[in-house]
Structure formats: C-alpha cells, structure tokens
Amino acid sequence: MFDTFDEWDVPITDTVTIHGRSGGTGPPVVLLHGHPRTHTTWYRVAPLLAESGFTVVCPDLRGYGRSAKPVPDERHEVYCDRTMAADLVALMRALGHPRFAVAGHDRGSYVAYRTALDHPEAVTRLAVLDSVPILEALERADARFAEEWWHWFFFGASPHAERVITADPLAWYRPDENRMGSGNYRDMVRAISDPATVLAMLEDYRAGLTIDRAHDEADRAAGRTIACDTLVAWSTRDDMEHLYGDPAAVWEPWVSGGLTSARIDSGHHMAEENPVQLAETLARFLR
C-alpha cells in the first residue's frame, strides 16, 4: 500500500501525535476516513489522486488507527469535531500546507465540514461523502433512522458499548479481508483490537450526540455557512437516498459557496468498493 507515499507521525501538541501518509505533488488535499476505518481505507484512491496532480494527505483521526488517544473528558470536547478540525489545521501547517482541500467520509465528513466552518481561511474546497450535517441527521431521525442507524445511539449513549465491543471486536465489526485488501484489513484489525481505540471511537459518537450537535446549532443560529465550494457525494447502494431523498438538498442551507453533487456506484465504503469513480469525481471537483 502507498508505495510512493511517506509515512509519518507528526506531533501537533505536547500530547497529541497524528499518524498517516502523504504523497504526490500539486495542490494539497486531505482525505479523512470514517468509523471504524483508518487512513489506509484510501489506499486505492490516494495514489490515483496523486497521479492526477495532487499532494494527498491521509491521516488517522485522533483516537483512530495509530494516532494519539488522549484521555476523554466529561463534556466530550477531547474527541469533538472542533478539536479534530484543529488537529487537522495544525497537521497541515506542520506539513507545509496552510491552505488545503479536504474530503471526508462518514465520521470523517463531520471533521471535514467542521474544519471548513471553523477555519475558512484554511479550507479551499470541501467534499462530504455519505453524510448530512450531524444536526440535520438528529433532527430528522425517525423510525427508519433508528432502525438503520441504531448504532449511533448504542455507541453514543449506552454504558455497555465499550464492554460489548472489546469482548470480541472482530465479531462486532466483521471486517472482510477480501473486500478491504489485506494491508487495509490488517491496519483496521490492529486498531479495533486496542481497547483505547474502541473507547476513543465511542467518544467520537458521544461528542456527536452532545457537543458537536451544540456547535451545529450555534452555527445555524448565527447564520454561519460553509464559504468554499462543496461537493456532496453519496453511495447509491447505501441508505442516504432512502433516508434523505436528495442529500445535497439537505446540505444546501449550510453552504454559501458553490454546491455540486455526485452519486457513486458503491456500497457505503466507496473508497474500497469503487475507488476509480471516487478518485475521478474528486479530481474533477478539486481541479
């Protein structure tokens, strides 16, 4: 994986180090993974974007993969999207990229759009993949959402989640080596087998139900929007259209820059299932 990419561990504070890889030359773009993946989920997409003329940066989010796992706090600020967005800006500055595009999938998309909202001077373009804003998802939650996305509330609210998952993480997550690719599979298995990673991932969801929602509410009340051009893309064989109809329409009030959309012929893990179409879609948008 990532044969031509550099692998690194970059300290961004006295206590937090971010692990990841980067490669290519040209305008910088950050690719943010979702739950429970690590940065290696991009191993097919990242080289294609590098070949298309981009500097591609793939980090493990705080708490995920081999990045730092600081002790959680009661308000869930340690693992909220605002904190992770600050991580991303500090990482990119350390790598020599004060301005960059960012694409995020699943949980990574929440960090991506929070970065665009909190740091408009840093984000040139935004791509959100398989998501709507957290506040929109929670306000629109109905019986269908509860049935299909029940894990949000188990992870975010149940006192039993950590014990249940760590008892047998492979049985819980059921990663498929054939579909994921062996290197990507091994990286994820290493991560989810660490109880500290499981706790951190649960804290991500706990923040989503509390402080992240509050940050979205404050932004909407203040009329803050995403100023850069934004791509909304979703998997046609996932449940986004079933839940939201046109996901781009849900994003529209949140974006004051240009808004475009794309449908990817894939299941949920689009970077692994249809990397060619995803890379082509991102490259067209980022040029």
Residue 178 inside a domain? The answer is yes
> What tokens appear for 112 in the block?
């991506």
What pLDDT is attached to residue 264?
98
For residue 220, give every residue at least 6 positions away whose Cβ sits within 8 Å of its Cβ, in sequence order, or none.
135, 254
Assess if residue 172 is contained within a domain: yes
Catalytic annotation, pick one of 194, 229, 239, 268:
268
CA atoms within 13 A on the CB side of 13: 14
List the catalytic residue out of 106, 204, 212, 219.
106
In a domain, 219, yes or no: yes
Q: Is residue 60 annotated as part of the catalytic site, yes or no?
A: no
CATH number at residue 22: 3.40.50.1820
- Cβ atoms of 236 and 264 within 8 Å: the answer is yes
Domain residues for the domain of 223 are 6-286
Asked if the structure places residue 1 within a domain, the reply is no
Which residues fall within 8 angstroms of residue 116, CB to CB, at 6 or more apart?
102, 123, 126, 226, 227, 228, 230
Report the half-sphere exposure of 53 (CA within 13 A, side-chain side).
6
What's the total number of domains in the chain? 1
Is 242 a known active-site residue?
no
Which ranges of the chain have pLDDT less than 50? none
Cα four-point dihedral sign 229, 259, 286, 29? positive
Identity (one letter) of the amino acid at 3? D
